[in-house]
Structure 1
Amino acid sequence: MPVDSACSALVSTISDQEFGLFQQFFHEQIGLQLTTVKKPLLCGRLSKRLTALGLDNYRAYYNLLVSKAGAQERETAIDLITTHETYFFREPKHFELLQHKVIPGLHASPELRVWSAASSTGEEAYTLAMILDSFRSPKPWTVIASDISRQVLVNAQRGLYPMSRGERIPAPYLKRYCLRGTGRYAGYFMVEAPLRERVEFIPGNLTQQDSSLGMFDVILLRNVLIYFDQPTKLLVLRNVVERLKPGGWLMVGHSESLHDLRLPLELVTPSVYRKVCA
């Protein structure tokens, strides 16, 4: 049976009650909101696991996920559901602001710490590192990148990407920080080792507080809030803003709004906020 047909068949076997179990599971585990229209996404990303495990229905897969023996499979399912494609220099106005206003404004700061929250496969974190290395060095700077998916963090640490992911990297950065693949790696590029080593990738769940992260001058929390319901969105934002220094900068996706959330933030420009000093 073709994959698309198999997927359609599996979708048709998921009752509202069964799909509700997955909605509850992913919401409890990582705060993710899966609406009913996400059934095809669930199928497309999890159906191969049913095949690999020899399971013929989603209820059996759910039972495995919530069992004591399902710890490793839970991590796999979360990896599959939360992986989102991104690219370098996405929403470039944020990086222009970082270059022209944020970094110069923090010139006297002994260290500039930036957090790429929900960093996915690392493109955002390495973009930040390119900007900081170009306009902050030799003064100290740090980029921390976190994600719920351990598999994407492994891929991010490797720093190997299809050329299509780097189409928006300005030519000077591409030449300075990236190596073009040859032979078996033709069509790919790799972020150079000295820059990769400046970015620390760590696992993290935004719905949980983590004081070990320390405090940050800049936090990017972009294109992730759209996946949460309102209570979870507020929980995540409170956890993130808690890690932001007074006067620090928070950047969210251009399609995301923090209107009426009663947070200690002031709007600077659409999608850019600063933490109000106590």
Structure 2
Amino acid sequence: MRFSDRTVVVTGAASGIGAAATALFAREGAVVFASDIDVESGKKLAEETEGDVRFVRCDVCDPAAIEALMDRAAEETGGIDTLLNNAGAGGARESIEEIGPDAWDRTMDLLLRSVAMGIRYAVPHMKGRPSTKKGGASIVNISSVAAVGPGYSPTTYAVAKAGVLHLTKCAATDLAQHGIRVNAVQPGFINTNIFTASLDIPDELKTQAKAMIAQMSSNAQPVARGGEPIDIAEAVAYLASDAAGFVTGTSLIVDGGITLGPRHSWDPEEGGAFEALIALEEQVKQAQQTA
């Protein structure tokens, strides 16, 4: 029960990583304020999850709604011990030579400004909490492997998630004086609705598409299975717990190894440059022996 007597706020809680994290925190003793714009799924989550889960509708693109969420959590429980800034979506898909300013701003508001404002409005309720004396008061931000380089997502999403990483470091330095730790998690390809939601296909086909994405992702990295929301939730829980009391301003990559290198670096069937050199060496030796 790592989170007994603690208050946790989770944004984007109605599905995927947010739902998995909500269930984990609640199961381990926290009072969880689960927020989302999906009211039906959010209420169902609160009703069916073991523990104390309280759903609050919150559009993280509206700073006033974020402030109201944090105020409500503090009013009902006396403060906030952990904030998980998780809400997000795929955002604008256009390349940099095509995207318009409005689409750019909407994506940044959803993926980056919401994280900044989540921190801004949670911190007044985190100062002086008992957990700060145990190393447990913490903020965890969901970034992405897209933050480390191109090729994992659309451009605007990648830039926003890179911003989340730098914001995490800056916030960690700002908030150290209050005993508040700030860290990030960078998921790889996780089997959630974020991919199918961005596809222009009928809803009845999205379940099939999700299964296809899961199969594709299981072949995309050294760990030969698709990532699941619980994989990220476990990483979040570690960073939020007292076990990570000496950890701040850093990011934990949870990606099955997809960022380790190109496929030939880990797939023996692909072969790499080094293996090609070894093979060439053997060919030269054989040629010398037959000469």
TM-score under structure 2 normalisation?
A: 0.35
TM-score under structure 1 normalisation?
A: 0.36
Larger % of strand: which?
1
